[in-house]
Structure 1
Amino acid sequence: MTTAEIGRPHAPATRRPGFVAALRRHVPLSIGLGVLWLAAMLLVAIFADYLRPYGITAMDLTNRLSAPGNPKHWLGTDELGRDVLARLIQSIRVSLVIAFSATIISAVFGTALGFAAAKFRGVVEHVVLVLADFQAALPFLIMSLAVLAFFGSSMVLIVCLMGFYGWERYARIARGLAISASAQGYASAVVQLGASPFRVYFRHILPNVASTLIVSMTLTFPEIILMESGLSFLGLGVQPPETSLGNMVGFGREYLTRAPWIMLAPAFVIMLTTLSISLVGDWLRDKLDPTVR
């Protein structure tokens, strides 16, 4: 060993990448998998009629509670001999239709109220903010149970009820962004050119705040899926013979020890779908929010 080598400090030992570093390295992969999963769920919902091997009410009494792997029933059957795969495909369609429709209703309703509060200010703004505070403090699940128990469960009522979930978020976001955008030069210039308030807000302000609202929709979408699943699990959501993911979980809990595949299949789909939407929503927030960049 030479004198130069003795006096030279040793290089620190290379550390193995920790969990956080590994997670950051694999985040693009997880987002890609999430997008693929959501695309697959969308295709299943669109082509459900062609993908179902059997009808959702077709019974095979000779194969009741058949385990997965059966050549006739890949995911097994339930207590009535109905094919779990066929019912799962239909459940994906119903749950996604409810969640998508309710998210659109919530976003449109909340954004319109937020723009109205930003435009008129004063009493209108105060009323909108009070309603938003009331909605945020209201136990929505309990209110939904009361409404469905009193009026009865129907697909239209469930969609409308879920549509009022989370509208206060859009109202607050739209109000704040509209007030900020109105103070900028482009909105004032359009007003001076004689544009109507509707054109100013929906043709000029809305496109500039749409990215934030889209990210909010990705956060509300999985919450609505879980809310609908909870209502169906309690027996007040989608009613037989129709089926949904929560409906399948609710009926499968009675056979959890004897036939766990009845409940685990829809529960697995709920978990992966909500996780994928959350991952994509976080990614969109980072990509569309200029303050993050």
Structure 2
Amino acid sequence: MTIADTSAPVTPDHNTVLSRMRRALRQVPFSVGFGIAWLAGMVLIAIFADQIRPYGITAMDLRSRLALPGTFPHLLGTDELGRDVLSRLIQSIRMSLVIAFGATIISAIFGTTLGFLAAKFRGVVEHLVLVLADFQAALPFLIMSIAILAFFGSSMSLLIVLMGFYGWERYARIARGLAISASAQGYAAAVVQLGATPMRVYLKHILPNVASTLIVSMTLTFPEIILMESGLSFLGLGVQPPETSLGNMVGFGREYLTRAPWIMLAPSLVIMLTTLSISLVGDWLRDKLDPTLR
């Protein structure tokens, strides 16, 4: 009589894994699935823009000026200088996503840091952070951005840093409130009693517990930064030629709206679908991650 070896690892059944994946996909609404697929496509386009772009963004074909969409070899037509709209749209997606992603990260780090400082020191520091947050919320950010870019000139680094100060007060308020709540709970006090430094307490114990709420806030700030950058580029203060962005394309295409509407409509459609997808996915993540809404 032999005893079966029970120490061997148990591999999950293939059909069980597939059934779990099907159940998970059924729980995702169609609109959210569309948003996730669209955002994944935008990210892939941004990463592999150089490989999938058929022409250079400055390559001109003067014999094919204002060619209609579907005209071979320009699938989305050409602009007033004979430049391929599809190639410029692919590069614009990359530029707009890089600016929005970088600015969102800067805003989240800056706001969360100030929120944690306010929760740690309280008193004068907390009052100062709250006053700055109120000032930022009351300040017309678009007007301030126009003034700064008009005075210093537009550059990629300045644009990303400037956009990074958009919406930081949300993260500061959220981080402050959640950090105060977490500090009042037992686990944070226990770690302090064990001799942990304040930085370790906030980064290793409090931050992971508030990260879900901050991530949801990032999904709300991301589309707003895309729209803000598009507005600045539309006014000629954002991304400067020869580079291009979605707002830049809309700004140049408005002059040919009656003769060649595809120059403006293609980036406008991408802006609309991208911001809509981020909003849909953000609302879904809020419902899934925010414990107060469960």
1:160 aligns with 161
Using the TM superposition, give the Cα deviation of residue 46 of structure 1 relative to its aligned residue in structure 2, in angstroms. 0.1
2:130 aligns with 129
Percent identity between the two aligned chains: 85
1:70 aligns with 71
2:85 aligns with 84
Which amino acid in structure 2 is aligned with residue 182 of structure 1? S
1:242 aligns with 243
Q: Secondary structure at the match of 2:154?
A: coil
Number of matched residues? 269
Q: Secondary structure at the match of 2:169?
A: helix
2:271 aligns with 270
1:116 aligns with 117
Once residues 27 and 282 of structure 1 are traced to their aligned partners in structure 2, the CA distance between those partners, rounded to angstroms, is 12
Once residues 267 and 28 of structure 2 are traced to their aligned partners in structure 1, the CA distance between those partners, rounded to angstroms, is 26
Once residues 124 and 211 of structure 2 are traced to their aligned partners in structure 1, the CA distance between those partners, rounded to angstroms, is 26
For structure 1, the residue ranges without an aligned partner over 5 or more in a row are 1-24
Which amino acid in structure 1 is aligned with residue 194 of structure 2? L
Once residues 142 and 263 of structure 2 are traced to their aligned partners in structure 1, the CA distance between those partners, rounded to angstroms, is 25
2:151 aligns with 150
Work out whether 1:99 is the aligned partner of 2:100: yes
Using the TM superposition, give the Cα deviation of residue 292 of structure 1 relative to its aligned residue in structure 2, in angstroms. 1.4
Using the TM superposition, give the Cα deviation of residue 290 of structure 1 relative to its aligned residue in structure 2, in angstroms. 1.3
Using the TM superposition, give the Cα deviation of residue 26 of structure 1 relative to its aligned residue in structure 2, in angstroms. 10
For structure 2, the residue ranges without an aligned partner over 5 or more in a row are 1-25
2:11 aligns with none
2:54 aligns with 53
Pairing 1:119-268 to 2, within 5 Å after superposition: 119-268=120-269
2:34 aligns with 33
Scaled by the length of structure 1, what TM-score is found? 0.91
Once residues 166 and 29 of structure 1 are traced to their aligned partners in structure 2, the CA distance between those partners, rounded to angstroms, is 30
Using the TM superposition, give the Cα deviation of residue 27 of structure 1 relative to its aligned residue in structure 2, in angstroms. 7.3
Which amino acid in structure 2 is aligned with residue 168 of structure 1? E
Once residues 26 and 140 of structure 1 are traced to their aligned partners in structure 2, the CA distance between those partners, rounded to angstroms, is 39
Scaled by the length of structure 2, what TM-score is found? 0.91
Using the TM superposition, give the Cα deviation of residue 291 of structure 1 relative to its aligned residue in structure 2, in angstroms. 1.8
Once residues 292 and 139 of structure 1 are traced to their aligned partners in structure 2, the CA distance between those partners, rounded to angstroms, is 31
Using the TM superposition, give the Cα deviation of residue 89 of structure 1 relative to its aligned residue in structure 2, in angstroms. 0.1
Deviations 1:97-150 (A, max 9, x none): 000000000000000000000000000000000000000000000000000000
C-alpha RMSD of the superposition: 1.0
Using the TM superposition, give the Cα deviation of residue 71 of structure 1 relative to its aligned residue in structure 2, in angstroms. 1.2
Q: Secondary structure at the match of 1:65?
A: coil
**Structure 1 segments of 4+ aligned residues over 6 angstroms from their partners:** none
